[in-house]
Every structure is written in structure tokens, then in C-alpha cells.
Structure 1
């Protein structure tokens, strides 16, 4: 196909390419004129029969729309033809930037060529993976009695049994279940729904705001305490969100964790029919946990092997997108520990693995 444009290489850096295209004004005039004649032959206007509207009238009424449409098509055609003839292969991202706009079918006269830059990044050539060269170790872990005992110990900690404290001098502390009556007001007015009697919560269990728990901690049964408490604007209860509330709290009762030594009693407190049911649950849960860990280690081993296959270039635009995603995923402390270099390396690693997995899918390889 004969070229209707002139192209010049501006940049060839790693996977990045920039080319400048120039399309002559005469060619553009011909394309626009031809499109206007097509419109004139089919357009319907009041007072005219179909095909009898003058070219000048069509030019005045819809010339700008036609010009935009033709220029867009010309840019697409030139870019597509060039990419196909050049055999660049897969392109990751592309962008067109017009640097010179021509005057086409303009009342101000004609002149000027259409000049634009085509910027794109190439997808690097990824080597094929031979599954026969990959030997992964499948880990097998048996669930032992020690593992089951540890799991049941976790159940004791997670689902404690509480008994009322028999010491009038005991002060509420982390891990205790407390019973409180509270009343809240804002600027001297009681908040509707902001009071309760017999409210139960475990200190340190994330049921109450930390500042609230700090005020309750150290109180004895029968103590009453008044204090101000500020709630964040995104607090789950809209009643308190974004307000500094006056609180009045009375500690009605303290219940302390009780060690359940008997497995049958522990099983029933956790909702199991008997101790054997609890042991079976622990065994199956641990098998699932070990299988998940085994799969995770095998995936890591596979990814390490795949990373060793390809350590070449990666598209910068995709790495930039992945870096942004990592910054959104991680909390500030982890980001600070990684540093910018760490984020960039992790982004490059993810992009490489993604390209390798895409190659595996394209080659229909089963790993």
C-alpha cells in the first residue's frame, strides 16, 4: 500500500518509540472534499431535495464535523499502516499528540500540513517456558497431636469463658468483660439513642474506641466517671461521628476470663457437640492450613524459577501503573520501609511475572 504520509523516528530508547508523522495538506483537502461530496449526495435539508444541496452549504453547515472526522480517520489509517508494515509486534500503550493543525476547507484559506507524534511502548519478546525443566517439591505435612493441642489452645484464648469477679477491689483491665451503664450528651443536650444500661464489652477486644476503653480501665465496680470523648468523622455510629461528646459511665460489673481445663466443657462453650468434634475440626482446619502453606511455597518456588528465565526489559508505563497500585495497597509504614527503590523493584517483579504468565497462557502450557 502506497504511503500518504512521511514518517521520521524521534526516539528509540529500550521499549519506547516516538515517530513524527507528516500528512500533506493537499491529501487532506482531497479527503475532506470527497467526504463533503458524500454528505451532500445524501443529506436532507428543508427546502432541498435529496442530493440537491450545494457543496458550499454543506461545507458551512457541517464542514467542521467532517474535518474532525476525516483527520481522526487519517491519523488512525497512517498509524495502523505504519505499525503493520514495520512489524513491531504487540504494543503495550500508545498515544497520539498533534503538534501542527492544518487549515483544511477553511474560509481563512488553505495551508499547513497535519503533523503529529505517535508514542508507544513495545511488549518485549518473552521466552517460552519448558515445563519439563521445572521440578517443584510438593510438601507434605502431617498433623500431629502437638499441632492439635496448640490449635485448641488458640480456641481457649479466642473464646474465653468469663465469671463474675468476687473481689470488690478489682479494677477493670485488658481482657476483662465489663458491664456498664452510660449516658452521653452533646453541648449539654442528651443524645437520642446515646444511653444504655447493662452494655457489655471486652476491654481490648476492639468493641469500643480505644479512648473510651482507656477511661474505663482502672475503674472498680460501682465507680462513676465523667469525661469528654472525641469521635472521628468516619466513626461507624453517625450519632457520635465527628463530635466531642460528654460521657457519664458507671461500671456495673467485671467478669474475668476463666481457664477451662476440661475439653468437653471447652468444646460445648465453642459450639461443638463434644470434644471429639472439636478435635476433628482442629485436625481438618490444620490440614487445610498446611495445604495452603504448601501451595504458597510451591507458587513462590515456581515464580522464582520463572523470574530466573527472564530478567529483561519491562514496559515503563506498566511498571508505573503497578507502582501506583502498590502504594495504594500498602500502609505508610511498609512503604517507608521499602523506599522508592523497593517499590520500583517490586513493581518490576510483578510485571515480569505477569508477562511470563501471559506467555504461559498464550502457549497453552500447563504448569
Structure 2
């Protein structure tokens, strides 16, 4: 049958669906007969309930189900015949007047937009690059050595200094009153590693075992303990023990303890370099991908389906509530969360999703099986048993779908970088690793 589609505004469309009354009634009768074979009612044997009684009890709900099913089928068929790409769910309402023997319904819905992507050759994309330096390898080595450090007690008259582990008793008071978390015995921390507030570390630095000291400490306004944030406290601290840190030497024994196959200093440094280069590659890719996506959004023209944006807003609100619940917030699922809080982000996500999908479609940038396999193997390479990790990915279609999505984004990134004006910019290793990609 010919389907007439009316444009209401931008992406909103309307069409009328007709359903023959006799088709609906026939399906209702058929379902009620099937139901009568199994339904149980007091006073009747199973399967022996009269049809009139079954119809009286279940007629309305069965009729409602049939109407839903048949209207859904009619809409899907009509949308298919009209070659429409429907976004979201249609709003279907029964018309007050219908031709004889028919039921008429109005279906109001949105379609996916036409996406126009401008000339990517005029897009400017900043592409970051960095290299793994010897200094970066040295810094990583220092971290590995610190993780394996040992401690030996200092002489009684030795003063606490950077890197030492100190054991202290302390008690803090605000306006002469002790407060929660302000008192501890045999408390250990490392001097100079930021485990304690600066005033606390400064007070202990230079003290000897057996010494006590009182000092003022101002809690920052953004301190995690809200009861004391922004307040001034007086602390008394007693140093009970000072231990000097001993870092293992960079030698074959360290390489061996770290499980390096080539247990030499050169082998250890080569292994660190390989791991850092893998991490650098992933971070650069994430940063450059973000720059590409920004350029794509700026170059695209399209209307956004309101239903898709609302669905994304709802997903984000659900995610926010789940996050609050995980943090122990009471009744997190009932908290009112305003849509406007997430709408700009939701609009960007929908816009980006539609633009990327269009670019993938017209340039055949889909994830190829060999690309997915290579990416999974790369992700698995840093684990002790890579083959087990590969098997883990391939044992779950959802995990594979996530990898496919990443590969598609990588294909889009490569495609855009080949088309656009690329401005290469070197960043230091420290800057790159300091910012999460």
C-alpha cells in the first residue's frame, strides 16, 4: 500500500496507519482460544473454561496486546516501504474517526538526519607527538626501585629527612577539642611524599626519635574531611622511630626480580622503554582522536533527533545515579537530576555518533576482522599471559563490540588526519603522562 508521510518540522514526520477491524478481532479470538486451553480458574477443570468466561476475564488485555503488536507491525512495514530511517520510538494515537471496518492511527516520529560533512581538507587538526627519553626511563626505574625499597632504623640521634619512614603518635585539637581522625598512635608515613599535609611534614622533618613538638595546622578549605575543612588546628606530635629507606641497586638482580626475560640492566631498560612506548602510543591516540572528533563536529551540518538526545540524557542520568549509589549515597535512584545538566554533552555525543557513522558509511571505514585481532593482541601484550587475555576478549561479543568501536574510531582518526591540515606539535613525555588521555 502507498504510504503518505507528512513533514511536521525538521526531522519530525507523521503518517496514518489503517488496520482492518476483522484482522484484529480474528487475532484476538485466536489468542483467546489458545489461552482457554491452558488457563486455570476456580470451579473449572484446566482447558474446560467456557470461552465466554475466558473472554470476560482476559478479553481486554489480549485486545490491548494485539492492537500493540499489529500497530507496531504496520508501522515497521510502512516505514520500510517509505525507506525511512526511524530515530527512537514513534508516538502512536488512535484517530477519533476511522473509515468503516478500519481503525486509523496517527504515528508521529523522527527520522535520522541527512549529515553534510564539509571539506575536511580545510579542517586544521593539532597532532601531538612525543618520544620516550632516557630521562623517562630513569624516572620509571626510580619508581620501580621505590616500590621495592627496604627500611632500616636510623641511629637514635639522627634527624628525620626526605624519604625516611617515620612512626609517630599525634593528637590534634580545634578550639581545645579533639576531633574525629585527629588522633593516632604508631602512625607511619614517608617524609616528602605528600601523604600528609605540608605543615605536618614540615614539623616532623628534622625531629629525632623521642622528641615531641606542638605546631599549628590550617586545614585547606577543600579538605576531604568536611568537619575540619578550612579550620585551624593545634597538633602535638611525638616521633617514636625513624627508618632510612634503602633502594635496590640497578643491576641484574633487580632485572631478575622484575621477571625480565633478558635479566641485564640493558634488558631491563629496553623492557621499560617498550612498555612506556605502548602507553605513550595509547595516550597520543586518545588525544589526537579527540582533536579529530572536535574537527569533525565543527565541519558537519545536521539536525539532531530530539528522541536520540533524550535517550542519551536518560542514559547519562542513569549512569550518574548508579555512580552515586556506588559511593553510598542514600536513595540515589530517587534523587532529582535535571536534564539540562547533561543535555549539552548528550547533544554532542549524538551529533558525533551520527557524523562518525556517516563518515564510516561513505568511506567504508568499518572495523575489519584483522584490525580487531591486531588491536586485541596489542591490548593483551602487556599481560603475563597474552593468549589468555585474547581468549577472554573473543569469548564475549560485548567485549569484542567495544574493541570494534575503538578500531572504527581509529580508522576515522587516520582518515581525517590524511585529509586535514595537520599541525604537528611535540609535547614532553611528562606533560603527556600527567594528562590522562
* TM-score, reference length from structure 1: 0.55
1:155 corresponds in structure 2 to 141
Q: Deviations over 1:103-126 (max 9, x none)?
A: 9xxxxxx99955343313327579
Q: Which residue does the alignment assign to 1:336?
A: none
Q: Which residue of 2 aligns with 1:360?
A: 365
Determine if contact 1:178/1:253 at 8 Å carries over to the other structure.
yes
From 87, 110, 115, the counterpart of 2:105: 115
Q: Which has the higher helix share?
A: 2
Does the 8 Å CA contact 1:95/1:119 hold for their aligned counterparts?
yes
Structure 1 unpaired stretches of 5+ = 104-109, 128-138, 236-240, 329-338
The answer for the alignment partner of 1:33 in structure 2 is 25
Equivalent-residue separation in structure 2 for 1:195 and 1:302 (angstroms): 47
Does the CA contact (< 8 Å) of 1:102 and 1:111 recur in 2?
Answer: no
Which residue matches 2:168? 180
CA RMSD across the alignment: 6.0
Larger Rg: 1
Aligned to 1:17: 12
The residue that corresponds to 2:302 in the other structure is 313
Per-residue CA distance 1:309-356 (angstroms, 9 max, x = gap): x8453754656777886997xxxxxxxxxx997996676446533554
Q: Aligned partners of 2:218 and 2:353: how far apart in 1?
A: 45
Q: What do the CA deviations read for 1:208-227 (whole angstroms, capped 9, x no partner)?
A: 5x4xx644531333115599
**Distance verdict in 2 for CA 1:243–1:296, change over 3 Å:** closer
Note closer, same or farther for the CA distance 1:59–1:321 as it changes in structure 2 (3 Å cut).
Answer: closer
2:18/2:105 contact within 8 Å kept:
yes
Note closer, same or farther for the CA distance 1:295–1:35 as it changes in structure 2 (3 Å cut): closer
Q: Which has the higher contact order (CA 8 A, sep 6+)?
A: 2
Distance 1:58 1:82, change over 3 A: same
Partner of 1:77: 73
SS at match of 2:302: coil
CA shift, 1:60, in A, is 2.0
In structure 2, relative to structure 1, the CA distance for the partners of 1:115 and 1:289 (3 Å cut) is same
In structure 2, what is the Cα distance between the partners aligned to 1:69 and 1:350? 34
User: 2:193 matched to 1:205?
Assistant: yes
Equivalent residue of 1:266, what SS?
A: coil
Is 1:266 matched up with 2:249?
yes
Q: Distance in 1 between matches of 2:253 and 2:188?
A: 19
C-alpha separation between the residues in 1 aligned to 2:76 and 2:249? 71
Contact 1:174 / 1:203 at 8 angstroms: preserved in 2? yes
Work out whether residues 177 and 255 of structure 1, in 8 Å CA contact, stay in contact via their aligned partners in 2. yes
Unaligned runs of 5+ residues in structure 2 are 118-128, 258-262, 321-341, 372-410, 412-437
Query: Structure 2: how far apart are the matches of 1:344 and 1:284?
Result: 43
Tell me the equivalent position of 2:384.
none
In the other structure, the counterpart of 1:223 is 212
Q: CA deviation at 1:361?
A: 2.3
Identify the residue that residue 284 of structure 1 maps to in structure 2: 271
**Per-residue Cα deviation, 1:166-196 (whole angstroms, up to 9, x for no partner):** 79696x67755322135799xx9999xx854
**CA distance 1:51–1:114, shift in 2 (3 Å):** farther
The corresponding residue for 1:96 is 90
Provide closer, same or farther for how the CA distance between residues 350 and 182 of structure 1 changes in structure 2, counting only shifts above 3 A: farther
TM-score (structure 2 length as normaliser):
0.48
- SS of residue in 2 equivalent to 1:361: coil
Aligned partners of 2:169 and 2:240 also within 8 Å: yes
Distance change (3 Å), C-alpha of 1:120 and 1:150: closer
Deviation at 1:279?
3.7
| Matched residue, 1:333 | none
Counterparts in 2 of 1:21 and 1:311: CA distance versus 1, 3 Å: same
CA 1:96–1:302 in 2, change beyond 3 Å: closer, same or farther?
closer
Return closer, same or farther for 1:292/1:252 CA change in 2, 3 Å cut-off. Answer: closer
